């Protein structure tokens, strides 16, 4: 059962957003070990899942939003994305469009579509957890380190 109220943001996300306040940090807040390098994508991920991992992992690593403890959640997000893309592609390959696929069927009881929607919802949920949706990104005010500001000039 949920604890009620809004979900807490991870400390790293607060730091990136510029909303971190030391006075509000719990005394015994868990501090997951940082990653020393960007991990390679797990081999069991589909090609789409591995591609997403390769695109996002370095960026999340650079922002300190990906730690040892976050890897399983990130893996599930990449797996769900790969599954979503694979099912979507297969439905289009067999039926040319979703409309043709659903013709004469109840969209609530079609196994492929039900799985497709579940994979999408899983992926969407993890996007918000890592600050990767447009709405979550809109709440982030990234403080660019001075060395990067010089590079931009």
pLDDT tens figures, 64-97: 788 888 899 899 999 999 999 998 888 888 887 7
DSSP 22-50: GGGS-TT---PPBPSSPPPPPTTS-HHHH
- Position 1 scores a pLDDT of 40
pLDDT tens figures, 6-26: 666 666 677 777 877 777 666
Note if the pTM is more than 0.75.
no
């Amino acid at each position: 059962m949920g604890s009620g109220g809004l979900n807490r943001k991870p400390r790293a996300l607060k730091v990136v957003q510029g909303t971190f306040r030391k006075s509000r940090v719990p005394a015994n807040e868990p501090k997951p070990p940082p990653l020393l390098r960007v991990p390679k994508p797990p081999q069991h991920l589909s090609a789409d899942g591995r591609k997403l991992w390769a695109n996002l992992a370095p960026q999340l690593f650079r922002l300190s939003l990906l730690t040892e403890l976050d890897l399983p959640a990130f893996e599930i997000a990449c797996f769900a994305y790969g599954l979503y893309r694979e099912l979507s592609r297969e439905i289009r390959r067999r039926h040319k469009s979703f409309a043709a696929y659903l013709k004469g069927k109840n969209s609530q009881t079609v196994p492929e579509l039900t799985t497709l929607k579940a994979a999408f919802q899983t992926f969407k949920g993890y996007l918000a957890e890592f600050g990767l949706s447009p709405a979550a990104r809109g709440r982030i005010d990234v403080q660019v380190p001075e060395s990067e500001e010089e590079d931009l000039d």
